Amino acid sequence: MPTLTRAEAVERASLVDVEDYHIDLDLTGSGDTFRSRTVVRFRARAGAATFLEFEPVEVASMTLNGAPVDPAAATGARLELTGLAEENTLVVDALMRYSNDGEGLHRYLDPADGNTYLYQHLFINNGGRVLPSFDQPDLKAVFRVSVTAPEEWLVATNGALVSRDGGRWEFAPTERISTYLASLIAGPYHAVTSEHDGIPLALYARAALAEHLDAQAPEIFELTRQSLDRFHEMFRIRYPFGHYQQAFAPEFNFGAMEYPGIVVFRDELIPRSAVTETDRERRANIIAHEMAHMWFGDLVTMAWWDDLWLNESFAEFLGSRVTAEATRFSDAWTTFAMQRKAWGLRADQRPSTHPVAPSEVDDTGQALLNFDGISYAKGAAVLKQLVAWLGDDAFLTGLNAHFEAHAYGNATLADLLGALSRASGRDLSGWAEVWLRRAGVNTLRAEITRDGAAYAEVAVVQTAPEEHPTLRPHRIGVGLYDRVPDGGVVLRERLDVEVEASGRTVLTGLAGKPVADLLLLNEGDLTYAKIRLDDDSAAAVPLLLPHLADPLARAVIWAATLDAVVDGERPVAELATLVLAALPVETEAAVVEDVLRATRGLVDRYAGPESRPAVLELLAQAADRLLAVTGPGDPRQLVAARGLINTTVDTARLRGWLAGEGVPDGLAVDADLRWLILARLAVLGEADAAEIEAELARDRSATGQQWAAVCRAARPDAAAKEAAWTAIVGDATLSNRLAERTAAGFWQPEQVDLLEPYVKRYFADMPEMMRIRGGMSAEHIATMAYPSVAVSTATRQLAADLLATPGLDQILHRVVQDFDDDMRRALAVRD
């Protein structure tokens, strides 16, 4: 991915105003290139010089205002232009290359039926891989697209279809949008259409997924309608981009992307096997998240990537809010507390932490790094805290004023804060300084002094890490929970508390009241902070947690417990014991899933080789106990089965399930569960290459191909590891998803001795991998291929040596720096 600096973007924006692009693509060729003819009309300062992003394979012709442009002007991923007029027309006819890394115009060959599928993803700074473009968010333009494709193909873009004649497709001009938001899909996609409130709706997926899309379309359309209605209740400007299409594309790098008029999702969101309620809720949340972007990001777009939070924090917040308020997934905030917020907390404690709204993002490379748990989850949690402080009416009034002032244009942090301040009558500059402009997370602890069975004093003590010492005002709930004679637990009292930034806030209302069995800070999960239970409350958790009725309160407790283990304040074995005691009676599938996932990750890193098998067995027992009390239709059953498969060493039982023996009533051992079992058997050395190939012969689908890559890489066999590693680091022909899945299967805690030589090879080989791939695909691979299970000081030294290398790719630098910090924590716990 080429890099654009902020200084270059500011200068270019001062010279250029783009009117429109007319892109005419010919996708009928059989090679690895396609024809792109683009007409760009733009105004400029007379006599000025500027550039467009452009990465052609071959230029057929170029003219500027009718005069030929030397093809040599297109070098180094840029097209340099000089002698501009006030009104300019650039016409370029070129061959461009398809990609296999999820960026540019990605081409995919479906192994199930041999069909070819395309999607366009110009995210951040990849516009030049399809057309010559002024590729920065504040140079918005109208896009008009024409496509010539094979006659049997379907083509869809941001704009509405005007006409089709055989394989020739003409689309209407769009509203003014940023270059990175221009998209299309092309191929023999299967379509399902509908309409709601005057808005045409459409769903697209590969032909191989047609039956699954047809079956799931009613649910997806229902979620879409519910979300549209809720956004129309909140926002005075209705959905502004005509039709609302949702395409499910193969090998998509993100979960989804908010292209106006044609949202694109990864097609794993059209599952072909049984899924959990958590999986369904996750899809609902993504649908609402991307729809929120139609206002935050598409209608009003950040001026530069330092205001990424105006896109992602708001979409993350509104995704959970609308899912909870408008769909059947009313406990979406519980999932947010367990899963998404934990992502933000971990990112905020790593060396790469940054403010939610950094004051400077120097270039597009740095911008890519900020698509993380801070810009998404922390920002969303901070907005939840802001709403608790301002009130919902003032918050929504400010948002609507913001949309009306900047519709189809660009805006900044200052613009939004001004609208919210005017709506609420509060000066938000101080709030923004501590919550948005400064990195780091606070910890809130209860400090309790007793007078017999009553409270003498209860104070909330706020601390901050030395490297990020900012204390903040927090509006929180404080819950007092008591056990009752029937064994249940009741919320005796809930206090609304303003925690002061001074560091210590006394809760005067609790003096003299009976001591509760559990005192829970951040009841209702209103703020963004690490929560620590007092010693008496922590000791009572194993007895109280199974009987606590409120799922959000349970999520807050689980999250606090997991985070205490991450910080080395509680042993991982104690966590596993709590999981065994409380998880089998947990009613929320999302909580079960996340506790099992997070605990398994901590066991793999924090438990040493001697203790890991015993601790892992506790997790297997917890999953097995839950499986024993669930039955057909219970949303926890599949979660428990997956948890058991991932933790057990009982290969005979797994073999039995594959053969249809001993399978719990109601559990379908379908294609994906078969692959999960086979992957675990491969890790344990109980599935050879022939068995993997036999399973692939049963399942010649895209998903089967990806699972086979995981299984091959997971085998404890020297030749299999060598083949997998060669593919990960050196095979540029391998698609992004297959490379990622190979990396995902490679490192296994059970195989540390066999994998020891690859620890050094990671640090030696990754720089070259970043060179041949780059962008988000390279980041995913570098992350998944990191030797995180090789917990040792030697691994840390190798990381330090690589980090000291001059000119190290900044994406790789961040991956290594953050994983090394995780290993620092793991070593401290083991020691």
Q: Alpha helices of 669-751 — where are they, by DSSP H?
A: 671-683, 689-698, 702-714, 718-730, 736-746
The structure tokens 């922390």 sit at 378
H/E run at residue 300? strand 300-302
> 261-265 long-range CB contacts below 8 Å, 24 or more apart?
261/157, 261/158, 261/159, 261/160, 261/174, 262/156, 262/157, 262/158, 262/183, 262/184, 262/185, 263/290, 263/291, 264/119, 264/121, 264/183, 264/185, 265/290
Under 8 Å CB-to-CB from 396, ≥6 apart: which residues? 234, 235
* Torsion from C-alpha of 603, 607, 610, 614, nearest 10 degrees: -40
Q: Is 360 a catalytic residue?
A: no
- How far apart (Å, rounded) are the C-alpha atoms in residues 38 and 57? 15
Residue 197 region by backbone torsions, left for phi larger than 0, else alpha for psi between -120 and 50, else beta: left
| Rounded-to-integer distance, Cα 495 and Cα 816, Å | 43
- Torsion angle, CA of 399/401/402/403, rounded to 10 degrees? 90
Residues 6 or more apart from 373 whose CB is under 8 A from it?
340, 343, 344, 345, 346, 347, 348
**Which residues sit opposite 50 in a β-bridge?**
81
Q: Name the one residue in this structure whose structure tokens are 């030749």.
A: 719
290, 523, 593, 740: which one is catalytic? Answer: 290
Structure tokens at 37: 């003819």
Q: Indicate the DSSP class of residue 60.
A: E
Residue with tokens 């094979």: 150
Question: Phi and psi dihedrals of 446, rounded to 5?
Answer: -90, 125
Exposure string for 801-824, b = 16+ CB within 10 A, e = fewer: ebbeeeebbebbbbbbbbbbbbbe
Q: Token match 């290398």: residue?
A: 805
Structure letter (DSSP) for residue 527 = S
Write phi, then psi, for 33 (nearest 5 degrees): -125, 165
User: What is the edge-to-edge ordering of all strands in the sheet holding 489-499?
Assistant: 489-499, 474-483, 518-523
Beta bridge partners of 146: 24, 170
Give the sheet arrangement for strand 104-109, strand by strand.
104-109, 116-121, 184-187, 154-157
Nearest C-alpha neighbor of 521 from the set 485, 563, 484:
563
CA dist., res. 530 & res. 441, Å (int):
7
- What is the spatial order of strands in the sheet that 504-506 belongs to? 504-506, 454-463, 443-451, 530-532
Residue 475: count other Cβ atoms within 10 Å of its Cβ.
16
DSSP line for 198-219: TEEEEEEE-GGGHHHHHHHHHH
What distance in Å separates the CA atoms of residue 87 and residue 215, rounded to the nearest whole number? Answer: 52
CB 221 within 8 A of CB 202: no
Q: Could you tell me if 490 and 548 are in contact, meaning their C-beta atoms sit under 8 angstroms apart?
A: no
Structure tokens belonging to residue 712: 């091959």
Question: Catalytic site residues?
Answer: 290
